[in-house]
Amino acid sequence: MRVHLCAVGRLRKGPERALISDYLGRFGRIGRQLALGPCLEHEVDERKASSMSAQAQALTRVVPDGATVIALDERGDGLNSRDLALYLARLRDAGQSDVAFVIGGADGLDPEFRATAQRRISLGTMVWPHMLVRVMLAEQLYRAATILSGSPYHRD
């Protein structure tokens, strides 16, 4: 199952980019053995899509047809790492070919777009900058793969 990280904003070289690349690389290596991945990144330039509705349209264009859409939203379900891993495994085992994690811009996701997502998840009740959300999501994808593989990385 291919995983897509779809986000508003472009990350330049820097510590966030380095962390995301590292975690997604790790995810790709472990995930391959689990029929998960690779994780492909799709960035929407907020300079070309400045309003929430324009961002929603741009995000819709980068989400693959038929993908399960998971919106990252502060009002979403709070999952622990094991629950996320099991959810991904259920999607994979059900034959889902693509899953898209969608991260909005500074103002979040357009409410109509958010409502069409199959699932909404939260990384906590605090509001996070979208660049850090990408880092945390990349780490959680890697962690999910390690949980499913039985690696000792995740400690309960």
Q: What are the residue boundaries of the structural domains of the chain, listed by start?
A: 2-149
Average pLDDT, the chain: 92
pLDDT band at 154 (very low <50, low <70, confident <90, very high): low
Task: For residues 144 and 87, give the distance between their C-alpha atoms in angstroms, rounded to a whole number.
Answer: 9
- 114 phi/psi in degrees, rounded to 5: -55, -40
Task: For residues 111 and 91, give the distance between their C-alpha atoms in angstroms, rounded to a whole number.
Answer: 25
High-pLDDT (> 90) share of the chain, %: 71
pLDDT in tens, 39-58: 999 999 877 777 888 899 99
The yes-or-no verdict on residue 156 having pLDDT over 80 is no
Question: Does residue 90 contact residue 61 with C-beta atoms inside 8 Å?
Answer: no
Question: Does residue 36 contact residue 145 with C-beta atoms inside 8 Å?
Answer: yes
Q: What is the pLDDT of residue 143?
A: 96
pLDDT in tens, 4-18: 999 998 888 999 999
Question: Does residue 99 contact residue 3 with C-beta atoms inside 8 Å?
Answer: yes
Q: What is the pTM of this model?
A: 0.93
Q: Which CATH superfamily is domain 2-149 in?
A: SPOUT methyltransferase, trefoil knot domain (3.40.1280.10)
Neighbours of 132 (CB within 10 A): 12
